[in-house]
Chains A and B, each alone.
Chain A
Amino acid sequence: AQSVAQPEDQVNVAEGNPLTVKCTYSVSGNPYLFWYVQYPNRGLQFLLKYITGDNLVKGSYGFEAEFNKSQTSFHLKKPSALVSDSALYFCAVRVYGGSQGNLIFGKGTKLSVKP
């Protein structure tokens, strides 16, 4: 079965420090991987995606993610966290053989950045 796991319910970081939000996946075939962010009372916003190519993917708001096939991971990173980065982050994978909008999401990780 295809799945996405976000092992941390919450990540706490001080402003200015680097942040990492972890994601591992289990899929059939080559994975299409995504990160989305959700602010309170808002829908999800696309951050970045990995389809193929360079294992380090750069996205919106200074975020990047590293695809690691051997570890089946796709961790989200940012060199210097901002208070405004505080939100709920979701990792997702496209269902193998599924339609474009058919994604499996993780449970989400709440990122809290303190001043």
Chain B
Amino acid sequence: ETGVTQSPTHLIKTRGQQVTLRCSSQSGHNTVSWYQQALGQGPQFIFQYYREEENGRGNFPPRFSGLQFPNYSSELNVNALELDDSALYLCATTGAQNEKLFFGSGTQLSVL
């Protein structure tokens, strides 16, 4: 177990809707990253939060946004959902500069 919990595990939305995914961090881990994993692909970096500020972003449009809270839990928000947003969304946390990421089991999002 990694100590990282994501909710919900599965979600079905329709095109144009908005969705919020949640991630609780392992104790002491102040950095959280979000990844999108399409079927048959490796995870793609969306963004990272450190001390409640975004400090790195991948090639994703602004309709992908996030929050990190004082307890280091995090949210990923996606507006105006598109069919291509269907994927497994993973969050990963890390603490000290040891370069090791702890991943949650992910949220499987289906956009119809």
Do A and B assemble together? yes
State which of B31, B44, B56, B94 has its C-beta within 8 Å of the C-beta of A98.
B56
Other A-B pairs, 20, CB within 8 Å; known A34-B99, A99-B55, A99-B56: A4-B42, A43-B6, A43-B92, A43-B103, A43-B104, A44-B43, A44-B92, A49-B100, A90-B43, A99-B31, A101-B101, A102-B45, A102-B56, A102-B58, A103-B101, A105-B43, A106-B42, A107-B41, A108-B41, A108-B42
Taking a contact as CB atoms under 8 Å apart, the answer to whether A32 and B43 are in contact is no
Cα distance A28–B41 when bound, in Å? Answer: 23
Q: How far is the CB of A34 from chain B (nearest CB, A)?
A: 8
Which residues does B use to contact A, with CB under 8 Å?
A: 2, 4, 6, 31-33, 40-45, 48, 50, 55-56, 58, 90, 92, 94, 97, 99-106
Smallest CB-CB A-B distances: 4 pairs: A101-B33, A105-B42, A43-B103, A99-B56
Q: At the interface, yes or no: A84 with Cβ under 8 Å from chain B?
A: no
Please, could you name 17 A-B residue pairs with CB atoms under 8 Å apart, sorted by A?
A43-B2, A43-B90, A43-B105, A43-B106, A51-B99, A94-B99, A99-B31, A99-B50, A100-B99, A101-B32, A102-B58, A104-B45, A105-B44, A106-B42, A107-B42, A108-B40, A108-B41
Query: Which residue of chain B has its CB nearest to the CB of A104?
Result: B45
Whether B58 pairs with A46 at a CB distance below 8 angstroms is no
Interface size class of A (residues with CB under 8 A): 20 to 34
A103–B41 touching, CB < 8 Å: no
A51-B99, A105-B44, A108-B42 as given contacts; A100 in contact with B2, CB under 8 Å: no
Q: Which residues of B contact A92 (CB under 8 A)?
A: 42
Residues from chain B with Cβ under 8 Å of A45 in the complex = 2, 103
